[in-house]
Chain A
């Protein structure tokens, strides 16, 4: 089994290898699958979402990240960085804000770039076409002409393992917090 440490410091690495068993936490249930193939999703312009201009102190309502959607029987592992001086909130599903504790939702900003230069704390997972969304905030005192957010990561193809359930789980599996947690 691969090193299964999620959010691992350093350049992004796959959380499992082909042949590994994975538990996807989605819909408040574990879905057990076997990874069949892994492929990189390099940093590049097709994986950049531009939220557009934001007035001083303004916001952009959550934008669906269609550029990150996966095919059926696939999940994605992504990290992100903002390219402009904007702040973004992540939603996994339109109403489910992430990077949350009991009282606040944290945001990814240019300062995240300086504190976590490898962006490991931004890591998140998407299963099939369960869309992610990002909302944008201009926390500066002047207008932003654009608010760009870049993504990169890995794509995993899998086959389902319907015989395993949480009462009868696989002997070992990598736990992926995909959605609804």
Chain B
């Protein structure tokens, strides 16, 4: 557990292409001291069929999976709360990819810094 950070959310993004990483959350620069962000919550919704969602960092060839893949079940709200979510901490932007295009993803993070 880490304290004294700030909770912030990404904008809800729609996956534009299957199996192609795209930016999910931009970690704040933090002035003269870099910030990091810890993954706290994940929301996902699909109206286009079940999908496998992955969250990590990097785009294209630099994509790196940060936590295990999650199954997004069609037609219901898929929510992973703090207790379900590994405390993945990154100093770079969070990115995500899905096996199906068209699903909507949003995350909540805790930014650490000053």
Q: Which residues of A contact B91 (CB under 8 A)?
A: 145-146
Query: Which residues of B approach A to under 8 Å, CB–CB?
Result: 1-4, 30-34, 36, 91, 112-114
**What is the 8 Å Cβ interface bit string for chain A, positions 83-127, against chain B (1 contact, 0 not)?**
110000000000000000000000000100110010000000000
Q: Which residues of A contact B34 (CB under 8 A)?
A: 50, 146, 148
**Cβ contact within 8 Å between B36 and A43:** no
**Cβ contact within 8 Å between A45 and B3:** no
Contact residues of A: prevailing secondary structure: mixed
The chain B residue sitting closest to A43, CB to CB, is B114
Q: Which residues of B contact A113 (CB under 8 A)?
A: 2-4
A58 to B96: give the CA distance in the assembly, Å. 32
**Cβ contact within 8 Å between B114 and A110:** no
Q: A72 to chain B: closest CB distance in Å? A: 25
Apart from A48-B113, A84-B112, A148-B34, what are 16 other A-B pairs with CB-CB below 8 Å? A44-B31, A44-B114, A45-B30, A45-B114, A46-B32, A46-B33, A47-B114, A48-B32, A50-B34, A83-B112, A84-B36, A113-B2, A145-B91, A146-B36, A148-B33, A148-B113
Q: Which residues of A contact B3 (CB under 8 A)?
A: 113, 117
Contact residues of B: prevailing secondary structure: loop
| Range, interface on chain A | 10 to 19
A43 to B31: give the CA distance in the assembly, Å. 13
* Contact for B114 among A83, A117, A145, CB less than 8 A: A83
**Cβ contact within 8 Å between A48 and B2:** no
Q: Is A150 an interface residue (CB 8 A)?
A: yes
A32 to B32: give the CA distance in the assembly, Å. 36
Within 40-98 of A, Cβ neighbours of B (below 8 Å) are at 43-48, 50, 81, 83-84
Q: Which residues of B contact A114 (CB under 8 A)?
A: 1
Q: Which residues of A contact B4 (CB under 8 A)?
A: 81, 113
* Contact for B113 among A45, A46, A117, A145, CB less than 8 A: A45
Q: Which residues of B contact A50 (CB under 8 A)?
A: 33-34
A30 to B112: give the CA distance in the assembly, Å. 40
User: What are 23 contact pairs spanning A and B, CB under 8 A?
Assistant: A43-B114, A44-B114, A45-B33, A45-B114, A46-B31, A46-B33, A47-B114, A48-B32, A48-B114, A50-B33, A83-B113, A84-B36, A84-B112, A110-B2, A113-B3, A113-B4, A114-B1, A146-B34, A146-B36, A146-B91, A148-B33, A148-B34, A150-B114
